Amino acid sequence: MPDPIAEIPRFDSFPRAVLGHTPTPIDSALRLGRKMGVTLHVKRDDCTGLAFGGNKVRHLEYYLGEAQQRDADVVLITGAVQSNFARTTAAAARCLGMDVHIQLEERVADVDDIYKRSGNVLLNRLLGAHMHTFPVGEDESAADRRLEGIAADLAKEGQRPYVIHLGIDHPPIGGLGYVRAAAEIVAQQRELGLQFDAVVVTSGSGMTHAGLLVGLRALGQTVPVYGVCVRREAALQKPRVLRRVREIAELIGQPDAVADGDVRVTDRTFAPGYGKLNPRTLRAIADAGRLEGLLLDPVYTGKAMAELAALAETGEFGGERRVLFVHTGGQPALFGYHSVLDAFFDESPVKEISGHAEAAQAE
């Protein structure tokens, strides 16, 4: 079957370092969907392969494609302490024979030592990343400036650094990875004989959300795409995503592909803030595991699945309610949240979480 990405003429002009196991499958999640009242499918981007995978592998294919084109030998990135992007950047850099520096920002208050040392942090150390700390968590420009300072010092030592910026004022090259993912989804719909009524995805930096939306629209797909806020409230996230949409659409020569009204964001499961759990998210994580054997993370996909359930409950999807959930990975962070998750499972019997008749009988 022809690759739909070929329908976007300029797309293959961008340098790409192939890092992921793609295309990722689309799996059905019948039991979890039945509990929500939808026909649920999951795009398994937690299975992109590189060091526990996740959506950032797709982003990195384009960032590091550009880095290779510039003959860089060291990559720098900034992110939260339990950043999935930092972890996959470390692995990607090692795959390509590059050195890597990671700056970890203090975004989540009142965390324990397990959070600071387990999960993605442990993997960064295993991968041999040079670690830096940054005490501020809500100033993207300051974090980027500090990263550029580290890069300047490395350049003085004779290295050739490539910086992956966090802030909005830098080109969203990574979003191209989700234009390609959109083409995968279009091809898989054709192969499976499906047409989704809605797509649900996390919306943090905005690049996965924006790239997916641009790709679908550029390929003639009108399906609504719901971005679930995990980094900031909807009033702040929507203009960010819209800007990224415009920039990515310009990059691929499709400036009119997306209308302003196509950008949908929702933040009902965001509180109490980035990296902080709430009861809906805890229940979504437990239900996905106990009904489907599907592991969600506390920061991104757990909140997105909780929001999908809320949207279904309010009748937002309508129609035949065939919903595609884009699983963006992040499972290593589960281990960083051990204390919170352990307390929840201690207090919540299996039958109360999953609604499983089998689980109730087992007790």
Beta-sheet pairing, 39-44 with 26-28: antiparallel
> Can you read off the two tokens belonging to residue 224?
């609504």
pLDDT digits (tens, 9 = 90+) for 174-192: 999 999 999 999 999 999 9
Fold assignment, 4-53+172-357: Rossmann fold (3.40.50)
The pLDDT assigned to 137 comes to 77
pLDDT digits (tens, 9 = 90+) for 211-223: 999 999 999 999 9
56-164 is classed in which CATH architecture?
A: 3-Layer(aba) Sandwich (3.40)
The pLDDT assigned to 319 comes to 67
Q: pTM higher than 0.85 for the full model?
A: yes
Q: Omega before 298 cis (within 30°)?
A: no
Q: Any catalytic annotation for residue 83?
A: yes
Average pLDDT in the 308-324 region?
90
String of b and e for 219-255 (b: at least 16 CB within 10 Å)? Answer: bebebbbbbbbbbbebeebbebbbebbbbbbebbebe
Residue 265 in contact with residue 236, Cβ under 8 Å?
no
Taking 50 as the threshold, does the pLDDT of residue 6 lie above it?
Answer: yes
In the chain, domain spans: 4-53+172-357, 56-164
Q: How far apart are CA 355 and CA 227, in angstroms?
A: 27
Taking 60 as the threshold, does the pLDDT of residue 362 lie above it?
Answer: no
Query: Hey, do 4-53+172-357 and 56-164 end up sharing a CATH topology, with the first three levels equal?
Result: yes
pLDDT digits (tens, 9 = 90+) for 56-93: 999 999 999 999 999 999 999 999 999 999 999 999 99
pLDDT digits (tens, 9 = 90+) for 260-301: 999 999 999 999 999 999 999 999 999 999 999 999 999 999
Average pLDDT in the 32-41 region?
96
Q: Which element (helix H / strand E) includes 269?
A: none
pLDDT digits (tens, 9 = 90+) for 229-245: 999 999 999 999 999 99
Burial of 350 (0-12, 13-18, 19+ CB in 10 A): middle
Per DSSP, the three-state class of 169 is: coil
Annotated catalytic residue, options 83, 203, 205, 354: 83
Please name which of 37, 54, 12 lies closest in space to residue 252, comparing C-alpha atoms: 12
The pLDDT assigned to 363 comes to 34
